[in-house]
Amino acid sequence: MAKLKKEILGKVSGSLGELTFRQRGGKSFISTRPASFMPGTDEASVTRRAKFALSIKFARVIYSVPQLKSLWLSETPSGTAPFNHLMRSNYRVIGTPASLNTIAMAPSFGFDISNPSSAVNASDLTIDVDALGTASGINVAEEVSLQLLTILYLNDRLDESVEEYMMLNFSSAPIAVNLDDPLTFTIPVPAIKQQYISKYSGSALFSLLVTLDSEGEVVRYSNTF
């Protein structure tokens, strides 16, 4: 058993792949699973592993978006690794690959989005929302632009050569803040991502709207919708 001298993942316990983490005397230790270990085959164990794998994959995609990563870095509780917090937050709400519930793109609740609608087309994504209004709390003097961040979840593959499910991230170009009118975001889909989309028959779109200051830094964000 080895001792972790630098706990970049925070206080971790349990198993991940072939590795087992334990806490002892306030210190973290890591060891490999015994060769005789057999994962449970009951429904609860299978579901738990599927949820864990799904949470990890969504967390990786979310963390790869600079604007979203900055939120998790700044709002993760002290003593907890941001990525670990992100993964656990999604594990609580995510459901399973066959029955996806929702995801947590941000670490806490933001302002509400009313009547969102979306469409996934061959060459672009279109997302419509009602006017944000003053109830959003947006300060137009400091929050000068809006940007939509989107994750497209693909499942029900049509081609066995691709993964069982896939997540693709997209970001709209920033637009000027407008609280009074409905908003439409149209995001082009690059050719390589079009190829992936064509290999799946099922999809779900998750989005988050952020406000940016004059330096392009995130100030406020919506709920995931």
Q: pLDDT averaged over the chain?
A: 89
Give start and end residues of each alpha helix (H) in 3-157.
Answer: 43-63, 66-75, 82-93
In this prediction, what percent of the chain has a pLDDT beyond 70?
83
What's the token pair of residue 208?
A: 């988050």
Please state, in angstroms and rounded to a whole number, the distance separating the CA atoms of residues 107 and 124.
28
Residue 6: what pLDDT? 55
Tens digit of each residue's pLDDT (9 = 90 or more) over 22-42: 777 666 666 666 655 566 677
pTM of the model: 0.80
Q: Is the pLDDT higher at 15 or at 209?
A: 209
Domains detected in the chain: 1-38 (no CATH), 40-99 (no CATH), 117-221 (2.60.40)
Contact in structure between 68 and 106 (CB atoms under 8 Å): yes
- Position 125: which residue type? L
For 173, other C-beta atoms within 10 Å of its C-beta total 11
Rg for the chain (alpha carbons), in Å? 20
Please state, in angstroms and rounded to a whole number, the distance separating the CA atoms of residues 158 and 177.
40
Contact in structure between 123 and 181 (CB atoms under 8 Å): no
Residue position matching structure tokens 């003097």: 141
